[in-house]
Homo-oligomer: A and B are copies of this chain.
Amino acid sequence: MPKKTTADVPLQLRSQLCFAVYSTAHAFNRVYKPLLDRLGLTYPQYLVMLVLWERDGLSVKEIGERLFLDSGTLTPLLKRMEALHLLKRTRSAQDERQVLVTLSAQGSALREKARAIVPPAILDAMGCSIAELADLHGKLVKLRERLDAAVEG
């Protein structure tokens, strides 16, 4: 039988924070999927809707900054959402390089349905207190910031 030494620990799957984050993201997605199916959205599409429900008429770049996604991901995603009549993409008159994204009436209206369906079910599935939730959220945001900083430098 293989013996374990401290040298093994850094390469053990179970102890890796990154894998915990990666697999928890997938677990979240599996919980969101049946809920978002009822809205006709995927999870990344739902994120775009959250951004636009907070502030409509943003450019692709501004959406990307909020979601940490680039045009290679957003352009086809937004085109699919336009085909679903959730939003419209129009070139800015002031700066023809920019594409402004605005919600359709249908896209705006979806907000109330989302509010009724998604947050309650997610809170239930997470099964933790608001305090735990805030604690974990804060620590993850700090970690994300340190990781982003490490990529820059």
* Chain A residues packing against B (C-beta within 8 Å): 7, 10-13, 15-28, 30-32, 43, 47, 50-51, 53-54, 66-68, 111, 114-115, 118-119, 122-128, 132-133, 135-137, 139-141, 143-144, 146-148, 150-151
Q: How many copies does the complex hold?
A: 2
Question: Residue on B with the closest CB to A26?
Answer: B68
Chain B positions within 8 Å of A31 at CB level: 147, 150-151
The prevalent SS among residues of A at the interface is: helix
The residue that A133 contacts in the complex, of B17, B43, B135, B147, with Cβ under 8 A, is: B17
Question: Residue on B with the closest CB to A120?
Answer: B10
Known contacts A22-B25, A26-B68: A13-B150 contact under CB 8 Å: no
A69 to B114, CA, bound (A): 28
